Structure 1
Amino acid sequence: MSKDKKKKQPDPEKKLMDEIEQNTVPEEKPVPENSENTEAETEPAENSLQQELDQANAKVAEYLSMAQRIQADFENFRKRNENVRSDAYADGKKDVAAAMLPVLDNLERAVEAASGSEDESLKNGVALVLKQMIEVYQKLEVSPINRLGEKFDPNLENAILQGAPEDGEPGTVCQVLQKGYRMGDKVLRHAMVKVVPE
């Protein structure tokens, strides 16, 4: 029996050796390099990568060009819009100033009519309103066209009457029937004048 027991019990050294063999990873055998196959495989890969890089660079250049065009278009739009806005503001200012000219004319007439009145408060009140109106026009850079005695200019005046030769030199303005006004170098209203014939 003891012999049988010995046979049945595995040898501890053998057991340890078996475990080591089972847990050991087999060594990888180096694959002999075949230089022709490796070069043949890498060339198409390099060509493919180069093509992809070229395509990506072309896309980048296209997008950059598009972005630059869009930026230039936006700058042009911004400048155009700025000009349109400033022109619209100037035109609006001009239109309001021109629309208020009859009010200014009537205030001047009221001051003339009130000068014969004995009511000082009426004269002072109308004169004060006229003064305020003139100040507003000065802020808007509106000025009267005063060319009495000067050579007639059709760009600034409308000749509606002809004066007598003794009224002044030929071709000159001898009487202003209605004042003209300008805003800067733009005429708001032409002066209505009487001109000495030539």
Structure 2
Amino acid sequence: MSLFNSSVRRAVLSSKNLIQKPSLQNNVRYFSANRVFLQAEDSKKNGETKETPKEESNDSSKDKTPEQLELEESQKKIEKLNNEVKKFKDLYIRSVADFRNLQETTKKDVTKAKLFGAQKLSKDLIETIDNFGHCMKSFENKELSEELKTLKEGVEMTSNVFKKTLNKHGVEELNPVGEKFDPNVHEALFEIPDPSKEPGTVFHVEQLGYILNGRVIRPAKVGVVKMDQ
């Protein structure tokens, strides 16, 4: 044991002497500083490597699974389709409303055409009836022979046929004698004071008026009792 202790003592002393040499001391200090620098670099690298997974973990938390991405894409498509459905539904409602308005307008136009389509023809036939009336007046206050009586009857029958034909198509005669004057259906030609009659009434008809299905196609030309001033 003593021999071992003495050999150890010699080894320690020799190593101490070696370290105390200037060259060896510089090397020891160099390696010690280098070791400290390397340890600092390692610690820095270790710190960066430790922080990197943390950042990656934060980024990875924002990532989504394919199922989630597919679900979001499906939701966007559904929302787009819903908007298109609303748009086309609105267009459909407007189209139906426009079509119904067109139906109503067409129906009214067809009705008016049925009621008043023969208005021009009716006016022409009314002028023919007027001519029959003038012809009938020519027989008044005259002694008529048998031939003239027969002619008068024929003219009267023809006039009545015309009137009945017009009545079938909605044409009615206006003979407003004794009625209150109405500027919508009457045309006043003159006014005469007459104490025996109510002012503003029709006392004379110069020309008969006619209406077609409630529409005046010719106002009656009349004389009116003058209003009191």
TM score, norm. by length of structure 1: 0.66
- 1:103-138, CA deviations, whole angstroms, 9 ceiling, x for partnerless residues? 111122234445745325533432232122111221
Decide whether the 8 Å contact of 1:167 with 1:196 is kept in 2.
Answer: no
Aligned to 1:67: 92
**Structure 1: gaps (5+ residues):** 1-38
The alpha-carbon deviation at position 164 of structure 1 amounts to 5.7
Task: Check conservation: 2:205, 2:221, Cα contact below 8 A.
Answer: yes
Q: Which residue number corresponds to residue 48 of structure 1?
A: 73
How far off is 1:88 after superposition? 4.2
Aligned position for 1:159: 188
Distance of 2:184 and 2:125 partners within structure 1: 21
Q: Which residue of 2 aligns with 1:138?
A: 167
Matched AA of 2:146 = E
Task: Give the distance between the partners of 1:169 and 1:45, measured in 2 at CA.
Answer: 93
Measured at CA, do residues 51 and 168 of structure 1 come closer, stay the same or move farther in structure 2, by a change above 3 Å? Answer: closer
Structure 2 spans left out of the alignment, 5+ residues = 1-63
Deviation larger for 71-80 or 114-123: 114-123
Q: Which amino acid aligns with 2:133?
A: E
Q: CA RMSD in A?
A: 2.7
Match of 2:50 in 1: none
Partner of 1:80: 105
1:118 aligns with 2:146: yes
For residues 64-95 of structure 1, the C-alpha deviation after alignment (integer angstroms, 9 at most, x for no partner) is 22222212211112222222333344343333
Moved segments of 4+, more than 4 Å: none
Matched residues in 2 for 1:166 and 1:45: separation?
Answer: 100
Moved more, 58-67 or 101-110: 58-67
Query: CA offsets per residue over residues 158-179 of structure 1, 9 Å max, x none?
Result: 2223446367444332221111
Q: Secondary structure at the match of 2:188?
A: strand
**Normalising by structure 2, what TM-score?**
0.58
Distance 1:55 1:170 in 2: 77
Deviates more, 1:104-113 or 1:114-123: 114-123
Between the two proteins, the alignment pairs up a number of residues equal to 160
Inter-partner Cα distance in structure 1 for 2:199 and 2:79: 83
Residue type of the alignment partner of 2:102: F
1:9 aligns with none
The whole-number CA distance in structure 2 between the counterparts of 1:97 and 1:57 is 59
Measured in 1, the distance between the counterparts of 2:145 and 2:162 equals 22
